[in-house]
Amino acid sequence: MPVRPCFVTTLLAAGILVPLLAPTPAAASDETITVTAGPDSGAAAEALTQQDPGASEPSSIVGRATLDRAVAPTGNYDDAIRLTPSVIDVAPNGPGLGEAQTLSIRGFQDGQYNVTFDSIPFADSDDFTHHSSAYFVLRDLGSVTVDRGPGDATTVGDATFGGTVALRSIGPAASGSVSPTAAGGSFGTVAGGVLLNSGAGALPGGGAVLLDAETARSDGALDDAAQRRGTLFGKAALELGPNWTLTLLSNLSRTVQNEPPGATLAQIAASGPSAALNRNPASQAFEGYNSSVYHTDLSYARLSRTTSGITLSDTLYTYGLDRHFEQGLDPNGSTPNGTARSLDDVPGQYGRNGLRAWGDIVRAGHSLPADLTGEAGLWIERQANARSLVETDATLGVPNPALAPVKGVAGSAATDRQQDENLLTVQPYAQLDWHGSPWLTLSAGVKGAWFRRDVDAAVMEGTRRPERFSASVGAALPSVTARLRLRPQWDAYIQAARGFLAPPLQDYDVSQPGRAAVVPETTWNFQLGTAWRSHALLLSADLYDIVLDHAVGVRTVAGESLDYDSGRVTYRGVEAEGTWTMGLGLSLYGSGSLNQAHQSGGLDDVSGPAPDTPQATISAGLLLRRGALDASAIDRWVGGLYGDTGGTQWIAPYNQLDLSTGYTLLPRAASPIQLRAQAFNLLGSRRIDGLAGYTLGGTPLYWTQAGRSFFLAATTRF
């Protein structure tokens, strides 16, 4: 079911012709993103998402006002970006009440794009994926930006070619305050917290500090898929002298959640679209046998200096994740109970993934003669990772020697993997920008990407034998960008860049992994776009063409991710978003995309649509802001897609209508109280929206849309 090129051409033409035909104001000036919102504040203040005005590639900013307005109080960053073009967010347990099961951008899957926090890349080193519900809470984020492109040479990270989801922490308010919040809603959800903000300049020398404590618990939208979560956040900005700033930040989080593997069509038909786990200890789907405990942290110290023509920064950081998990051996399948201890006992698995990363990002920029500016920098990170998986008798909580023993390997009859690895990432870069014309900026740069993986495995996954090896890969990644200022309100850009992603650990699960002919994923990214920005109208559109070679696909079987060779995948599409303020506090918002991804070659020589790439996405709705009241009604439609290779596992189109209303009470002689009521999936659509994987026997598992939900939140400030 291909997307017709004429539709692509029409949508792009609309994005380019509207700015051409728009009237030029008599006195034009650039709009800024941070504006005091009101009925006449303009499109920049009202837009739910908008193109970054300084970007040289397609991007969408989701600001703090949108996080409050359109995202549930329990939401994660995946909930924040789901309205942006080309994004699919499959969250079957409700907003923020579990991990995003699918979060793709243009068809690129988690692990093929970058996620950063205050410009620090973070990921699990085995496959560069992320745990969306395990690190940060929404209240501690000032904005979330989706850069749908590789960035330029200054963009560092493991997988920049698929884009970057950039999380930015909150900053100090203009004045000091203590701000408690409380929220509750569907699925037995309760959340609350307290944010202490010293206010800008409150500390000696003009610094500021923020402290936040948040907690949440929920039964979840799926059967017996509960979650409990607690987070502590602290940030301080210290002025050390003229032009010198030291920023200190630390975030600690603990998340406990039951993790269902999806449901078969038969289970959905018999038990409804919320079918997941149960409370029967004799079942492999028992909630107590399918859970994870996450402990995460991220801390950094950033020293920066800005003077006329010179910028310097050095960011030292560390982050860690410790996950302990249990899972039934085959919760949805036909594998009968029975262990080495008893034919009635429940077979399961117990595992641990633990990582600790230490890194440094150094950047230096300088104004040069001949209208040039230059920037050079270095990202270096060392990560240690321990991964284990053991077959268990879940009934008794002891190892289950159900595997064929490997000669000379102690405990191998119950051990799937026991691996320690160290990873070293080094990315130096240099870039020049030429500003020789008021209407043209040219940027050219190159980044080196070098990655080394050292593995010491008592039991290597796949072979289940002891292995000790090292593997290194690297590449030079050039990028070129031209940015044009066609009018004071109208920009355009064109970009070409090379991308790179090191092979995942599972690629080495072969005999003699040190000699394995493993190659990295590489891309060429080509993009062009345009953006119009005036008081009443924001509009942007772009075209992209990306060729990915040596692509690695992921298929989930019995809860374990299995990689496979996807060959070459070509991604093409058009994207647009815009906001129009109509007056009287009313605005229209819309974003959309037409997407294609075609796979060819690979291990099985499969040709056809690449998985998890929507044929189209559309978000559209009406916004209202008058006085103390704001409201929004937004419908999100996702076009059909295939869940697996070869044009298999078709997922039909689906949509979700969300409503939000906020009101600020101003009682006399008391602090203002902000109230918000939200309804998600108001029409109660329960369609299948994603492929979860397969059982041990090969039966497909699916995710369904979370049911209709309502949330109320109240926040005040003293």
- Exposed/middle/buried for residue 472 (C-beta within 10 Å: 0-12, 13-18, 19+): exposed
Q: Which two tokens stand for residue 97?
A: 């009440």
Q: Which two tokens stand for residue 15?
A: 């994005």
- The CA–CA distances, whole Å, from 412 to 340, 381, 399, 402 equal 14, 33, 11, 10
Write the pLDDT tens digit of every residue in 296-312.
999 999 999 988 889 99
- The CA–CA distances, whole Å, from 300 to 115, 120, 247, 284, 599 equal 16, 9, 8, 42, 40
Determine the Cα–Cα distance for residues 335 and 258; give it in Å rounded to an integer: 21
pLDDT of residue 446: 98
Measure the CA angle with vertex 554, ends 552 and 556; round to 5°. Answer: 165
pLDDT of residue 326: 96
SS3 string, 346-373, reads CEEEEEEEEEEEEEEEEEEEEEECCCEE
The residue among 528, 364, 373 whose CA lies nearest residue 435 is 373
| Alpha-helix runs per DSSP H in 240-320 | 265-271
Q: In 398-439, where do the E strands start and end?
A: 398-399, 415-437
Determine the Cα–Cα distance for residues 569 and 548; give it in Å rounded to an integer: 5
| DSSP for residue 329 | S
Determine the Cα–Cα distance for residues 539 and 321; give it in Å rounded to an integer: 40
Residue 496's pLDDT band (boundaries 50, 70, 90)? very high
Cβ of 336: how many Cβ atoms within 10 Å?
10
The residue among 241, 285, 250, 243 whose CA lies nearest residue 264 is 285
Determine the Cα–Cα distance for residues 98 and 63; give it in Å rounded to an integer: 23
pLDDT of residue 21: 31
pLDDT of residue 19: 33
Q: Mean pLDDT over residues 463-489, rounded?
A: 92
pLDDT of residue 377: 97
The residue among 48, 18, 43, 46 whose CA lies nearest residue 31 is 43
Q: Which two tokens stand for residue 475?
A: 């590449």
Structural domain of residue 514, as residue ranges?
5-716
Say if residues 674 and 716 touch (Cβ distance below 8 Å). yes
Instruction: Tell me the three state secondary structure of residue 515.
Output: helix
Say if residues 252 and 297 touch (Cβ distance below 8 Å). yes
DSSP string, 122-147: ---TTT----TTTS--GGGEEEEEEE
pLDDT of residue 668: 75
Say if residues 40 and 542 touch (Cβ distance below 8 Å). no
pLDDT of residue 1: 41
Cβ of 387: how many Cβ atoms within 10 Å?
22
Say if residues 493 and 56 touch (Cβ distance below 8 Å). yes
The residue among 402, 311, 388 whose CA lies nearest residue 348 is 402
Between the two ends of the chain, the Cα-to-Cα distance in Å is: 56
Q: Calculate the CA 144 to chain-centre distance.
A: 9
Q: For the chain, give the longest Cα–Cα distance.
A: 83
Q: Which two tokens stand for residue 176?
A: 């000091």
Determine the Cα–Cα distance for residues 485 and 529; give it in Å rounded to an integer: 12
Instruction: Tell me the three state secondary structure of residue 640.
Output: coil
The residue among 471, 507, 256, 506 whose CA lies nearest residue 389 is 506
The CB-based long-range contact list for 514-521 (8 Å cut-off, 24+ gap) reads 514/467, 514/469, 514/470, 514/471, 516/471, 518/471, 518/473, 519/473, 519/550, 520/451, 520/473, 520/475, 520/550, 521/112, 521/161, 521/548, 521/549, 521/550, 521/551, 521/552
Side-chain half-sphere CA neighbours of 100 within 13 A: 23
Determine the Cα–Cα distance for residues 659 and 549; give it in Å rounded to an integer: 42
Q: Mean pLDDT over residues 166-194, rounded?
A: 94
Q: Which two tokens stand for residue 554?
A: 């992921």
Say if residues 111 and 161 touch (Cβ distance below 8 Å). no
Write the pLDDT tens digit of every residue in 558-617.
677 676 777 899 999 999 999 999 999 999 999 999 999 999 877 667 788 999 999 999
Say if residues 87 and 77 touch (Cβ distance below 8 Å). no
Residue 696's pLDDT band (boundaries 50, 70, 90)? confident
Mean residue pLDDT of the chain comes to: 89
Instruction: Tell me the three state secondary structure of residue 414.
Output: helix
% pLDDT > 70, the chain? 92
pLDDT of residue 203: 79
Torsion sign (Cα): 390, 393, 397, 398: negative
Phi (first) and psi of residue 610, to 5 degrees: -75, 145
Count H helices and E strands in the chain, helices first: 5, 35
pLDDT of residue 604: 66
- Exposed/middle/buried for residue 684 (C-beta within 10 Å: 0-12, 13-18, 19+): exposed
Residue 516's pLDDT band (boundaries 50, 70, 90)? low
Write the pLDDT tens digit of every residue in 602-653.
766 778 899 999 999 999 999 999 999 999 999 999 999 999 988 899 999 9
Cβ of 4: how many Cβ atoms within 10 Å?
9
% pLDDT > 90, the chain? 72
Number of domains in the chain: 1
Beta bridge partners of 297: 252, 320
Residue 41's pLDDT band (boundaries 50, 70, 90)? low
CATH code for the domain of 329: 2.40.170.20
Q: Mean pLDDT over residues 104-119, rounded?
A: 95
From 191-200, 498-507, 542-551, the region with the lowest mean pLDDT? 498-507
Amino acid (one-letter) located at 3: V
- 698 φ/ψ sector (left φ>0, alpha ψ -120 to 50, else beta): left
Determine the Cα–Cα distance for residues 610 and 632; give it in Å rounded to an integer: 34
Residue 207's pLDDT band (boundaries 50, 70, 90)? confident
| DSSP for residue 429 | E
Residue 513's pLDDT band (boundaries 50, 70, 90)? low
pLDDT of residue 2: 40
- The CA–CA distances, whole Å, from 373 to 369, 443, 496, 573 equal 8, 9, 20, 33
Phi (first) and psi of residue 42, to 5 degrees: 100, 170
Q: Which two tokens stand for residue 484?
A: 């044009």
Write the pLDDT tens digit of every residue in 314-346.
999 999 999 999 999 999 988 899 999 999 999
- The CA–CA distances, whole Å, from 484 to 16, 175, 493, 495 equal 14, 39, 6, 12
DSSP string, 68-85: HHHS-TT--HHHHHTTST
| DSSP for residue 610 | P
